Structure 1
């Protein structure tokens, strides 16, 4: 009796720890994003993205030394795609941040993991979740007149990041069977090969300014090294759909980070849209 009880408690505890790890990941990611937005006028969106990805890659490679465990061809392909998706997602969401508030950008971006979750379910109740998400996205589209109308280009960038986030979950699940830190290190290297040359082209020698590099180090730790490692550990213990639903709470956290750190106030309609997206996530989780 004691043995069976202990066996059942272990998976529950692992899932709970995975959930806390994912929450810590989201908090770190959103605070780092708010910090990153302060650098946009100084070194450009591409420069900040190259800091985030490039410095994180150096840190992850130094800590985990992934070359000690060679990749198979299939693993190499998955890691390359996974890393490229991370790089593109960073560029797109930062471009979106430069044009629209954090919470709104992430509310649109979160449609990616929400779609992954719904597609992996066969329950009719999820249709209501889709409807809630559709309402939220409709309220955020730049087609409504009045206060706080959104930049359509910023919305388009966020939509592109949503596609990348969905692919990130799919390919992240494939590489999560590897050692978490090693897979993230290889992925960040692949992402940096894609992003850093773009950042160097736009930012030039300004990227070598010591004070900017110090902020870039903080951004890399908060937005990439720590959250991606925690998310990889979570992916090993949570199902793809459960991970997607945890991630879908991000719009509320992003909106709060934007409000507290950047003073980005949202209209009542925009808060309603974010609540609708989070509600869709909760409903799918319950089903």
Structure 2
């Protein structure tokens, strides 16, 4: 009877039914994007013992460059200097962000590295706000970071620093992407930045791969990371944003640290203590509350 009632409702309101179907598809795409991204990072980390984080990032950047150039097809000959300078900065930030994140994953694990990286979007959201709810979000996130980075004999301060560097790069990435989006149509600017970032890693990749000769398995893992953590999420995110509101997409992105911690546990055996899970939950909560508060103000 319940199924019949749903069918009647869909027949009576086909537009609403189509909207709900599109939103459910968008949610499925966002879940798939997040899982693909974190599984890609986990698979890439399997190549660390052979070619190191720099070698994995080089292959990933090349894969991302090929994918985004094929999708965006930037007309670089028509770019003006006003269009070029944010693209150049975005390329440098893109390269630094991925290298620092993968180096952090190598040292402190997937879940903690991705959680620290998520402080970048939160900082952008809180930067221009003076509201009490945003101050509360900052306090919650700060408590989570303090709990994650509390001094212990086994604390890897370099790994934490690399995770925070990735967060700073992500914040810059967001701001530069906005600037590029205003100056160039579609994804031409992002595609051009990805291509330049791939070029930056050509000498780095050659040196690393010559010093640490890759095995076919290591190259396969690095290439898979490029596809799973760059190409697939990019395409799924584009499709999802056509089906769900941008603010809903922003809220749902906050699930990534939880997905990263879960993938790290299942695929890599990276166990987290209860305090670390609570810290991840605090930072995710701060992100969600911040996005919801911003949505309501707008």
Scaled by the length of structure 1, the TM-score of the pair is 0.83
Secondary structure of 1:159 counterpart? helix
Let me know the Cα RMSD of the aligned residues.
Answer: 3.2
1:195 and 1:120 mapped to 2: Cα distance? 34
Aligned to 1:161: 166
Asked if 1:202 is matched to 2:208, the reply is: yes
1:197 and 1:54 mapped to 2: Cα distance? 12
Please identify, of 167-176 and 30-39, the stretch whose mean Cα deviation from structure 2 is larger.
167-176
Distance 1:10 1:165, change over 3 A: farther
Give 2:115's match in structure 1, choosing from 80, 101, 107: 107
Distance 1:232 1:161, change over 3 A: farther
Contact 2:76 2:192 in 1 (8 A): no
1:189 and 1:275 mapped to 2: Cα distance? 35
Residue 210 (structure 1) shift: 4.1
Contact 1:176 1:232 in 2 (8 A): no
Contact 1:129 1:280 in 2 (8 A): yes
1:176 and 1:234 mapped to 2: Cα distance? 19
Q: Deviations over 1:34-83 (max 9, x none)?
A: 00110000111100000000122123334543238833332222222112
Give 2:43's match in structure 1, choosing from 30, 35, 49: 35
Secondary structure of 1:98 counterpart? helix
Secondary structure of 2:270 counterpart? coil
Aligned to 1:248: 254
Asked if 1:50 is matched to 2:55, the reply is: no
Asked if 1:261 is matched to 2:274, the reply is: no
2:49 and 2:219 mapped to 1: Cα distance? 15
Asked if 1:150 is matched to 2:159, the reply is: no
1:100 and 1:79 mapped to 2: Cα distance? 31
Aligned to 1:81: 89
Please identify, of 87-96 and 211-220, the stretch whose mean Cα deviation from structure 2 is larger.
211-220
Contact 1:110 1:251 in 2 (8 A): yes
Aligned to 2:143: 135
Asked if 1:98 is matched to 2:103, the reply is: no
1:111 and 1:266 mapped to 2: Cα distance? 19
Greater radius of gyration (CA): 2
Contact 1:200 1:207 in 2 (8 A): no
2:188 and 2:231 mapped to 1: Cα distance? 12
Secondary structure of 1:217 counterpart? helix
2:217 and 2:134 mapped to 1: Cα distance? 48
2:17 and 2:90 mapped to 1: Cα distance? 33
Secondary structure of 2:112 counterpart? helix
Asked if 1:189 is matched to 2:195, the reply is: yes
Contact 1:50 1:195 in 2 (8 A): yes
Aligned to 2:290: 284
Distance 1:193 1:210, change over 3 A: same
2:93 and 2:147 mapped to 1: Cα distance? 28
